[in-house]
Amino acid sequence: MSETLPSAGESDPGIVLEIDALYRRSPYWELDAADARTFVSAVPPGGEPRQANWSGEVLARSRVVDVNERAAHLVGALDGREEMIGRPIAEFWPPDSHDDLAELIAAVVTDPSPHATRTRDIASLLLQDPVLTVWRSPESGADTVFATVKGAMIDRRSYWSLRASEDRYRKLIHHMPNPLLRVDARVMGRVFERLRAEGVGDIDAYLDDHPELIAFAEQSVRITEANPAAAALFGVRSPADLIGSVECLFKASPETARRVTIAHFDRRRSHAEVMKLRTLDGRLLDVQIAVTFPTPPEQLDVTVIGLDDLTDRLRTEAQLRQLQADITRAARISTLGELATSIAHEVNQPLAAIFTNAETSLRWLSRDEPNLVKVVQLTTRIVASARHANEIVHRIRAMTSKHAPELLPLDLNDVVDEALLFLRHDIESRSIRLSTRLGLGLPRVIGDRVQLQQVIVNLLVNSVQAVAQADTRDGRVELSTGLGPGGEVVFVIRDNGPGIPEDDLDRIFEGFFTTKEEGMGLGLAICQSIMAAHGGGIAASNRPEGGASFRLWLPAEPEPA
Amino acid sequence: MSHVPVIAIVDDDEAMRDALSELIQVMGFSTEAFDGAAAFLADLAPGRFDCLITDVRMPGMDGIDLQRRLRALGSVMPVVMITSAPDPAGRARALQGGACAYLAKPVDDCALLGHLRSALGQDHRPGGRRDEDDSPGG
């Protein structure tokens, strides 16, 4: 803060001229300071005991004689110019510079010179680099002082409305449930200007050569304000404990500091990412950091950093994924359980053939003249059947095993064939007619074989059960694959069972919705989530001629470029 | 004996059908294999087959229905049923329908031979007794 003291006792026409010009453009006050002078004479500013509210006392004793419209607008909006006349200036003057005004008034009224003038830089929310001038005029008598403030307007609103919005802003920040930091990064703004002036354009490359710039930024960019939520996040008692360098933010994520620096240099409006945060009490958190850099005409010392603790959310998401995988697997196994008879039959078939062929071979071998040609033929068949049995076992194991989804190009027709493996026997034993029309030359789809098998098995089981429930002599299940209107690969399964009650059509894909007494209601929900994960979908409808129809679709594998 | 008995085999599973044919041939019989009840019935003529071995579960007409059709046509041809999923209800239905045996897959060759001989009246074992489990109502 600087104070200009013009030489006492001399009239400076320059100042007067300037003041006349200012009168029109700048806020201007005429004050009656008689009481103030009495008070100041009794209690000088530097004197002992200095009263706690010395400035307030001086300003309470300085009454407004006149103000111009500018001054009324700037600080008197609540009352209007007329209401200000005769009232103490203390009621209108911005508190930030109470001390400045009081000290200058005291200096002027106690200065014996009739031209006494004092000038001082003050702080203001409204004006850029404001300069306060207080003076006395020989014409107006010893008790009248004038005051004016020179400086470019930052904000066209009046002080009080700005002050109110500043208060609202502070309250908002304070009560915000999200951790917020106000940061002064102006020092880096100046560094970046210099670098640009030196011709640095690629900050990325520059930082590779000058890693010390990031360390410098971390130390010199300062947190100037923090809210209670930020204090809680960092594990400190008070927001004041966070005031200081931003270094504490990036302890566990040095690369984040680098990316924030780059974003700032590149004059981006904001930068956000998920990073690890080491709190001041030693916890390691996953947080989303969002940095918003100021751009003119905003105050350049206000960079706002928002932090969002994602630790619980990420952990919950991981648990949910695990749970979903477990449920999917459990549902798969329970589906397989329902299909146990069918599967047992499927495995037993080649085993029975092996058994019988082996018995026959033994009979040929135990003859007086063994028929080795026959034995070779039978043994070859045994190998083929054993291989077949082995393949079935592999498929069942693949269905029940825990495996991470594997997205590979697939022929949907193969998946349908494999799914049928689990059900062919079930379908046959219920005397249900199964017809399969698989489209030829379909494009491949990208998907997880086991998951897609599971979806088709699920739909097949539902259809078979629906048809069996209908108890008709003529149960039918029709499967078909083909190309959809948008080039997608489509699988349709239709049955002639009782169909789906219209009221349930919208709900059948919801989890835990079931019409079966022993069902969990997860089958179709899992089908839907699997299809969604594949970028495809599933839809259900009733056929006009009776029975249900389910349609699956999957995007075709993109043509190689 | 100049006549070699002809055994009809009906099974939808090709590997099983072939295996049964080979086994029965090595036992000294002649065989005719069919992939389903319909094919067998289409080929059926009086005196053409001496015995039928059929799978129980098959698409279209199953073994039980096939036996019913056979009896309805007045045939007294002995029928041996083979199933990979034996159950008491199925056994009862098979035997009540006139089957001479209801066997689980994989079949024991000696048991099958015994049943075939008994069905064909070639049983040379003392008393000519059938396996208890396979007698009707047993």
Which of A275, A309, A343 is the C-terminal boundary of a domain?
Answer: A309
Residue of A nearest to B105 (CA): A352
At residue A478 the predicted structure's pLDDT band, cuts being 50, 70 and 90, is very high
Q: Do A356 and B62 touch (CB under 8 A)?
A: no
Task: Note whether residue A9 is domain-resident.
Answer: yes
d(CA A374, CA A367): 12
Residues of A in contact with B84 (CB under 8 A): 344-345, 348-349, 352
Task: Note whether residue A160 is domain-resident.
Answer: no
- Tokens representing B33 are 């294999």
Task: Note whether residue B1 is domain-resident.
Answer: no
Task: Note whether residue B43 is domain-resident.
Answer: yes
Q: Do A112 and A133 lie in a common domain? A: yes
Task: Note whether residue A170 is domain-resident.
Answer: no
Secondary structure element (H or E) that encloses residue A445, with its range: strand A445-447
Task: Note whether residue A171 is domain-resident.
Answer: no
Residues of B in contact with A353 (CB under 8 A): 13, 15-16, 18-19, 106
Of A264 and A508, more confident: A264
- Minimum mean pLDDT range among A383-387, A447-451, A551-555, B101-105: A447-451
Task: Note whether residue A168 is domain-resident.
Answer: no
Q: Do A99 and A57 lie in a common domain? A: yes
Task: Note whether residue A371 is domain-resident.
Answer: yes
Q: Which of B7, B55, B109, B116 to mutate to test the interface with A (most CBs of A within 10 A)?
A: B109
Q: Do A228 and A342 lie in a common domain? A: no
- Average the pLDDT over A53-78 and give the result: 79
CATH number for the domain including B122? 3.40.50.2300
Give the rounded distance of the alpha carbon of A347 from its chain centre.
52
Q: Do A325 and A344 lie in a common domain? A: yes
User: In which domain, by residue range, is A275 found?
Assistant: 176-309
Q: Which of B7, B12, B22 to mutate to test the interface with A (most CBs of A within 10 A)?
A: B22
Q: Do A437 and A391 lie in a common domain? A: no
* Among the listed residues B108, B112, B102, the one whose alpha carbon sits nearest the alpha carbon of residue A359: B108
Sequence-distant (6+) residues with CB within 8 A of A332 are A399, A400, A450, A454
Q: Do A275 and A343 lie in a common domain? A: no
Residues of A in contact with B16 (CB under 8 A): 349, 352-353, 356
Task: Note whether residue A296 is domain-resident.
Answer: yes
Measured CA to CA in angstroms, residue A277 lies from A180, A220, A254, B94 at distances of 14, 19, 10, 75
Q: Do A260 and A120 lie in a common domain? A: no
At residue A516 the predicted structure's pLDDT band, cuts being 50, 70 and 90, is low
pLDDT tens digit sequence for B81-105: 999 888 899 999 999 999 999 999 8
* Among the listed residues B92, B94, B101, B91, the one whose alpha carbon sits nearest the alpha carbon of residue B51: B101
Of A165 and A554, more confident: A554
Q: Do A541 and A419 lie in a common domain? A: yes
Residues of B in contact with A381 (CB under 8 A): 15, 18-19
Q: Do A412 and A552 lie in a common domain? A: yes
pTM, whole model, 2 decimals?
0.46
Residues of B in contact with A351 (CB under 8 A): 106
Question: What's the number of domains chain A is made of?
Answer: 4
Q: Do A418 and A558 lie in a common domain? A: yes
pLDDT tens digit sequence for A245-269: 999 899 899 899 999 999 999 988 8
Which of A404, A420, A453 is the C-terminal boundary of a domain?
Answer: A404
Residue listed under structure tokens 């041809």:
B77
Task: Note whether residue B124 is domain-resident.
Answer: yes
Q: Do A459 and A558 lie in a common domain? A: yes
Which of A309, A324, A339 is the C-terminal boundary of a domain?
Answer: A309
Q: What is the DSSP letter of A2?
A: -
| Mean predicted lDDT score pLDDT of chain B | 86
User: In which domain, by residue range, is B47 found?
Assistant: 6-134
Task: Note whether residue B113 is domain-resident.
Answer: yes
CA angle, residues A103, A104, A107, in degrees to nearest 5:
85
Rounded to a whole number of angstroms, the distance from the CA of A561 to the nearest CA of chain B is 45
Q: Do A357 and A304 lie in a common domain? A: no
Flag whether pLDDT at A340 surpasses 50: yes
Question: What's the number of domains chain B is made of?
Answer: 1
As to burial, measured by CB atoms within 10 angstroms (0-12 exposed, 13-18 middle, 19+ buried), residue B116 is buried
Task: Note whether residue B16 is domain-resident.
Answer: yes
Q: Which stretch, A137-146, A152-161, A203-212, has highest mean pLDDT?
A: A203-212
